[in-house]
Structure 1
Amino acid sequence: MNKWFTLAEYDHAAYGDAVDIIRRGCVLRVPSVSPPDPAWYPDPVMGFIVVQAMPFGAEPYGVSGLLVASGHQAGLMHVIFPKESLPKGYVYGLSTAWLIANWKKWVYPWGSAESVLIREPRSILRMPAVKSPRWKTSSQQNRSRTRSNWRTLTTYGSDVIRRGCILRVPSVPPPEQEWDDAVGCLTWYPDPVVDFIVVDAESFEGRSGLLVASGHKSGLVLVVFPKESVLQGAGGLSTAWLIANWKKWVYPWGSAESVLVREPETILRMPVTRSQRRS
């Protein structure tokens, strides 16, 4: 299910009347109030991913948080919810009813839960087209549009990958000698293509990490990189280090040459919602 729903519609459309849970990996889109609120974000619309918050220092295990997934502050945690946010009878997840009732207190004091849209994690079926290497010479008029396109990691053109950037990685069959018979292909991910967002793992001395942003394991942290991954003087993830250590730290069977990267995107408008009365 990759359609957008209001929070009030979501439970019935996704799971039926008996379930009150927003699972990790769901995406929320939140419009800013008008005029823009300086204490919020400067973007017209904000995207958030529901994440399992343990790697970010949360207690107890299983509580959820919202990670910023768009705009200038993409890759930062927005909020980690309290234990009371857990759905009744669950040790993980986020209660839809609790989120609606506590939206102004915990997420956005000036916004309304009625204006929020939500969708399930999306599986990616194919890799996108790659931008031309001539993007650096494009005119200033076209630069903002051009920057939203994908580039290969090995020709990224920047020494540092900043938080909020998206890495898109195609899956490959693990070689037979590396196959784990206990879990099969799930030694990686079952999806044809997996997106990761570069996050600022504040609990880990300023180092970066990768959080899964699509598919079956969306909302989980894949890896927190070591201190050596930080580009000195830039305070971000070293592109050269990531390329050199791709197989060791990210994907043993994949290749850095096949990875695509793009900058964080600004969302300009809300998507169209899907009616509860689906055909």
Structure 2
Amino acid sequence: MESKWKRLVDFNGDEEMPRGTLFKFPAIYPFEDAVVMMLCMNPGNVDFPMSLVAITGYKAGINPYQNLPGVCITGSGDNRHFDIQWLIMNWSYWVYPDCDVGSVLVRNIPLNVDEI
């Protein structure tokens, strides 16, 4: 069975990362040994249009874990999308400094209810 997780650093500029994308990475306190976060939209927030929300462990549902700045969005109009390369370059500053970006796994296929 093919894994539905892919390393973040293996993404290229042609791939999209829509809201609902999941990030799984090794963590330390106050998280468990690993955490999964979901990429969410912040409607109406021009300065911080996206955020990450923990969906596993004791911190699950604390909204948001981290707001992401407007520069994480690239393009304009109908061509606006989350900038994967920005996330790779800024992982330790904006998201989680205690984990090397090379250890971050991504799943951008929406979950089906049967998978939970």
TM-aligned CA deviation for residue 238 of structure 1: 0.8
In the alignment, structure 1 residue 239 sits paired with structure 2 residue 84 = yes
Instruction: Output the CA distance in 1 between the equivalents of 2:2 and 2:69.
Output: 29
In the alignment, structure 1 residue 168 sits paired with structure 2 residue 8 = no
Query: In the alignment, what sits opposite 1:207?
Result: 49
TM-aligned CA deviation for residue 255 of structure 1: 1.1
Change (3 A) 1:162 1:227: same
Which runs of no fewer than 5 residues in structure 2 stay unpaired? none
The aligned amino acid for 2:9 is: T
Note the 1:126-275 alignment, pairs <5 A. 131=3, 149-157=4-12, 158-171=14-27, 185-186=29-30, 189=31, 191-205=32-46, 207-220=49-62, 221-233=64-76, 234-263=79-108, 264-268=110-114
Change (3 A) 1:262 1:154: same
**So what's the TM-score if we normalise by structure 1?**
0.36
Q: 1:109-157, CA deviations, whole angstroms, 9 ceiling, x for partnerless residues?
A: xxxxxxxxxxxxxxxxxxxx984xxxxxxxxxxxxxxxxx110001134
SS at match of 2:102: helix
The aligned amino acid for 1:232 is: G
Instruction: Output the CA distance in 1 between the equivalents of 2:93 and 2:16.
Output: 19
Runs in 1 of length 4+ with deviation above 4 angstroms?
A: none
Instruction: Output the CA distance in 2 between the equivalents of 1:130 and 1:151.
Output: 10
Which protein has the bigger strand share?
A: 2
SS at match of 1:202: coil
TM-aligned CA deviation for residue 159 of structure 1: 4.4
The aligned amino acid for 2:38 is: I
Q: 1:29-86, CA deviations, whole angstroms, 9 ceiling, x for partnerless residues?
A: xxxxxxxxxxxxxxxxxxxxxxxxxxxxxxxxxxxxxxxxxxxxxxxxxxxxxxxxxx
Larger radius of gyration: 1
CA contact (8 A) 1:130 1:152 kept: no
**What is the aligned-residue identity percentage?**
24
The aligned amino acid for 1:203 is: G
Change (3 A) 1:192 1:130: farther
CA RMSD of aligned residues (A): 2.4
Instruction: Output the CA distance in 2 between the equivalents of 1:203 and 1:151.
Output: 31
